[in-house]
Structure 1
Amino acid sequence: MSLALRLENLSKSFAVGKRLFGAPKGHVHAVHPVTLDVPEGETLGIVGESGCGKSTLARMLVGLLAPSGGHIEIEGQPLDNADPAQFGKRIQYVFQDPISSLNPRKTIRQIMEAPLKRLHGMARAARDKRISEIFAQVNLREEFLERYPHEFSGGQAQRIGIARALAAEARILILDEPVSALDVSVQAQVLNLLADLKARLGLTYLFISHDLAVVEAVSDRVAVLYFGSVVEVGRAEDVFSAPRHPYTKLLADSAPVVGRALSPPESRETELPDPLNPPKGCAFRARCPNAGPRCAEEVPQLEGETGQVACFHPLR
């Protein structure tokens, strides 16, 4: 199967405590070297706690952030050697907050026309025809085109955001918490729309979310991030039904379930690792019930065939 996306040792660090002269005081390593292959037509879910590097990773994939190291290939073409406009045609971003991601000073028609003019150089008649086609695909009325973003509900605005991504004719969509700002009933509508578009257009999704139930429902595979590193990768049903990494189990145990009382899976005194002073060895060992001496000295690497885990003491 052809690869839609390949990440090879992709990393990102941010300088902190910058001075007018001299080197910064330190660096925060937001994303440690990540290597992932995403086949065409797959939905890869990406989960993890806030601050684990999910959105930083996503922003590197679409060129909003420059990687500190590593390489990105889209459909076999290296990102660092290509015309950025060509990647705009292949990969697009759907933002978490649909309304704030749309320019409040432009009508929806102007927003939709931008990628058609700048990426494809379409004339007016061709643009109008293409916009009508896209609006039909996302179940929006054409009369919305003359309105402004503030006139829409969150669900309608998110459909417009998806339509804008489709206007670029991208084959890969980065969905960064695409339904977290929506009501539950509207979430279902948007998720069904995304599933329908994927089937009809042959799209590939990277689906980033805190909601494990949503990720399990829509994903073919799942990558679990902790402290900037991928600690487990596998089929969605396997990762959530029988997690191998203790952190994945912690996430699953933390998710609220209807009919089950909320209870914290770990102590309130639990301390998260310091990004400016990362611990030696496994970053999760202070929170891990299975940690041993080796965990304090070495960083575990992803190992396995169909399901990979970065742990010296996996759960199975």
Structure 2
Amino acid sequence: MTALKVENLTKTFPLKGSLFSSAKDGVRAVRPMSFSVEPGETLGVVGESGCGKSTLARMLVGLLEPTEGTIEIEGKALDNADPAEFGKLIQYVFQDPNSSLNPRKSIKQVMEAPLKRLYNMPKSERESRIREIFASVNLREEFLERYPHEFSGGQAQRIGIARALAANPRIIILDEPVSALDVSVQAQVLNLLARLKEEFGLTYLFITHDLAVVEAVSDRIIVLYFGAVVEVGKAEKIFANPRHPYTKLLADSAPVVGRALTAPEQKGTELPDPLDPPPGCAFAGRCPRATDRCRSEEPELRPMGEDQLAACHHPIEPGEG
């Protein structure tokens, strides 16, 4: 059974009372997208800021209601599921570990919340479960009586991971889980996540803008641009042999030791105006391969060889520079 399935998912934020907007239906933060995640897989999600990564993540865990489309976890539709039952299937680890923890509550209270609300677990069982989880993320029991402000970023992120694990979920959404941490701490947290995945049989959706990190931890990667999926492929291939020009732009912009830095784009380097989206391909204004067709006809996601899909009228051919 597929762990997570998304069909034609969209999110439009309505604009109320704006005198300056030309958008009639609001801002489309996520345009129709479909994908699936298999049990035990890590699916990476990459793209620039504003491409819809976090909006997608919040819809997947029920923090935002989709405008259209369906979300299924292990065959259960989000809109038909009991929130408590859904919480047992999927959990969220936030980008900023400190702001995601309630400063007014001790870590013990933070950890107890999902055990009380999702499982109605008695006190003795809660304490045993919390000790077990804390041991799995290498945290000392004495931390339970402290408050969030007393911890470093790395410790706070381990607590956030522990809180997600408390619900005993099948899937964890990791929204930029290491971007706020020092590089040395990032490695520790990534190693911890890899071990927990094996230990608990977890499925990950790993959202980040760090290409080196996502390539290292993911089985497959989806690339988002302007709220839509523009490429899907295996982690070891998608940046080595990109088929969509935007994926190549991302790969070329990532710093690599021993490679000269490429010159920045000279014009049209920003995402299109969400209040006035362009016709056709949203990337056409930045794409060196764009033609009149690209500026008038939106490309569909289609197969590009084995295990790779791209939404491009003029894809990069294998071996092409």
For Structure 1 versus Structure 2, the TM-score category normalised by the shorter chain is over 0.9
Q: Deviations over 1:28-63 (max 9, x none)?
A: 100001100100000000000000000000000001
1:22-101 to structure 2, matched below 5 A, reads 26-101=25-100
Does the alignment pair 1:314 with 2:315? yes
Q: Which residue of structure 2 aligns with residue 13 of structure 1?
A: 12
Q: Which residue of structure 2 aligns with residue 291 of structure 1?
A: 290
Letter in 1 for 2:155: Q
Preserved CA contact (<8 Å) 1:89 1:169? yes
Give, in angstroms, the shift of residue 282 of structure 1. 0.6
Q: Quick one: distance in 2 between partners of 1:269 and 1:171?
A: 41
Identity of paired residues, percent? 72
Does the alignment pair 1:213 with 2:212? yes
Over aligned residue pairs, what C-alpha RMSD do you find? 1.6
Structure 1 pair 98/63, CA: closer, same or farther in 2 (3 Å)? same
1:168-179 to structure 2, matched below 5 A, reads 168-179=167-178
Q: Quick one: distance in 2 between partners of 1:135 and 1:272?
A: 42
Q: Quick one: distance in 2 between partners of 1:208 and 1:150?
A: 26
Q: Deviations over 1:197-229 (max 9, x none)?
A: 001111000000010000000000000000000
Structure 1: runs of 5+ lacking an equivalent: none
Give, in angstroms, the shift of residue 3 of structure 1. 0.7
Q: Deviations over 1:94-145 (max 9, x none)?
A: 0000011000010000000000011001100000000010001101000100
Preserved CA contact (<8 Å) 1:13 1:68? yes
Preserved CA contact (<8 Å) 2:267 2:286? no
Does the alignment pair 1:102 with 2:101? yes
State the SS of the aligned residue for 2:272. Answer: coil
Preserved CA contact (<8 Å) 1:17 1:25? no
Give, in angstroms, the shift of residue 262 of structure 1. 3.4
Structure 1 pair 287/117, CA: closer, same or farther in 2 (3 Å)? same
Q: Quick one: distance in 2 between partners of 1:269 and 1:145?
A: 50
State the SS of the aligned residue for 2:11. Answer: strand
Q: Quick one: distance in 2 between partners of 1:208 and 1:271?
A: 21
Preserved CA contact (<8 Å) 2:226 2:271? no
Q: Deviations over 1:281-307 (max 9, x none)?
A: 111111111112221221111111511
Give, in angstroms, the shift of residue 259 of structure 1. 3.9
Preserved CA contact (<8 Å) 2:268 2:285? no
Give, in angstroms, the shift of residue 268 of structure 1. 4.6
Does the alignment pair 1:231 with 2:221? no
Q: Quick one: distance in 1 between partners of 2:163 and 2:269?
A: 43
Q: Quick one: distance in 2 between partners of 1:181 and 1:43?
A: 21
Does the alignment pair 1:255 with 2:273? no
Q: Quick one: distance in 1 between partners of 2:102 and 2:263?
A: 41
Q: Quick one: distance in 2 between partners of 1:264 and 1:68?
A: 39
Q: Quick one: distance in 2 between partners of 1:302 and 1:37?
A: 14
State the SS of the aligned residue for 2:119. Answer: coil
Q: What is the TM-score with the length of structure 1 in the denominator?
A: 0.96
State the SS of the aligned residue for 1:16. Answer: coil
Give, in angstroms, the shift of residue 26 of structure 1. 4.6
Structure 1 pair 294/244, CA: closer, same or farther in 2 (3 Å)? same
Q: What is the TM-score with the length of structure 2 in the denominator?
A: 0.94
Preserved CA contact (<8 Å) 1:253 1:265? no
State the SS of the aligned residue for 2:3. Answer: strand
Q: Quick one: distance in 1 between partners of 2:150 and 2:91?
A: 24
Give, in angstroms, the shift of residue 263 of structure 1. 3.3
Letter in 2 for 1:32: R
Q: Quick one: distance in 1 between partners of 2:269 and 2:6?
A: 32
Give, in angstroms, the shift of residue 274 of structure 1. 1.0
Structure 1 pair 249/265, CA: closer, same or farther in 2 (3 Å)? farther
Give, in angstroms, the shift of residue 25 of structure 1. 5.4
1:190-201 to structure 2, matched below 5 A, reads 190-201=189-200
Q: How many residues align?
A: 313
